[in-house]
Every structure is written in C-alpha cells, then in structure tokens.
Amino acid sequence: MRRSVAARGAAGATFDHVAREAGVSRGLLHYHFGTKERLLAEVVRRDADIRMARLDRALAEAHSPDEVIEVLVHSLEDLVAKDPGFVALMFELFTSGRRNPEIAAEFAALHHATRGRLAELLAARQAEGVVRLADEPEAVAAVLLSLADGLALRLLGEPEHDHRPALRAATAAARALLGNGTSLHPE
C-alpha cells in the first residue's frame, strides 16, 4: 500500500494494484481490511507505532532538555532522510480524509494516539526532573508534533533550501517548551 500510494496517490492506489504488488489475492485484502481506506489507515498506524516505540526507547535515555530535543530532532531528520514516503503517506491520508469520513476518523484517531503517547513520555520525563514543561504535556506534545509535521513538509518540499535556520528556530521553540518551565501564555 505504501508503494502504491507513493506511486499513484491514495485515489489511484487500488486493491488490485496493492494485491498484485504484495503477491496476494484481492479477496484476501478485502477479508482482512474491508476497505482500501482501512488498509491505508492500518499502514500508517503500524508505521507510527514503530516510530513511537523507537522514540520511547530514545527518550528513556535522555537526561536533559537538550538531550530530549536532540532525540526529537534526530527522529525528524531520520524520518525525512530514510522514509520520506511515510511523510507523504501522512499528508495523503490527511488529504483523503477531507473527502472521506472513514479516513478522517482514522487519521484523527492516529493523531490522538500519537499526541497522547508523546504527552505520556514528556510527563514521565518531567516527573523524573529531566524537563520542566511550559504547559500541560498534551499541549506541549501537540506543538512539538506540529513543528515536526511542518518541518517535514518543508524539508521534503524544498530539498535544496538551507533549512538550518528554521531548524535552529524550531529547536529554540522546543527548548522553551521543554526547558524553562515558564508558561508561554499569561494567566
């Protein structure tokens, strides 16, 4: 499914194409996934689960805000360098969800789970004294994920552009969210 979406887009990635490329019957795909949309969502969910497990392990070894930021930046750079298809698939899933309520629901559930898991990891790092979050863990996780999504799109969309200044600015923003413990909004 990943290769088919990368080559044809979500609309052009049919069960026939996927079955042929996977060497299985179309009926088998229907039996296990029901719809193309469910298969697409499962592919993204599986990839996201694998990425979150890697992030879990890496963050467990981080002992300062700078080390947490290093893990997050490395995760983004690794994603863009080694698996740009995943980024494309995520944006394809978002675009398809604008026209398909089933995909929209799957996409929202995936975002909810990812944001929630990152929030748990950040809360644990805060409880251990590694970081002092500038806001609630889920809010910080949402902003960090938004930074990563936007940067991934920019990095892939303009590969010849020098993105170092943007990465420095994003790192400074992450440092403010993870390191100083002061609220970014007055109460």
- pLDDT average, residue stretch 164-179: 93
Q: Can you tell me the distance from the alpha carbon of 47 to that of 41, in angstroms, rounded to the nearest whole number?
A: 10
Is the confidence at residue 185, as pLDDT, over 50? no
Triad 119, 175, 143: Cα angle to 5°: 45
26/65 Cα distance (integer angstroms): 49
Domains within the chain, CATH numbers bracketed: 36-178 (1.10.357.10)
Which tens digit of pLDDT belongs to each residue from 96-126? 888 888 888 888 988 999 999 999 999 999 9
- In terms of Cβ atoms closer than 10 Å to its own Cβ (0-12, 13-18, 19+), residue 42 is middle
* pTM attached to this predicted model: 0.82
pLDDT band for position 40 (cuts 50, 70, 90): confident
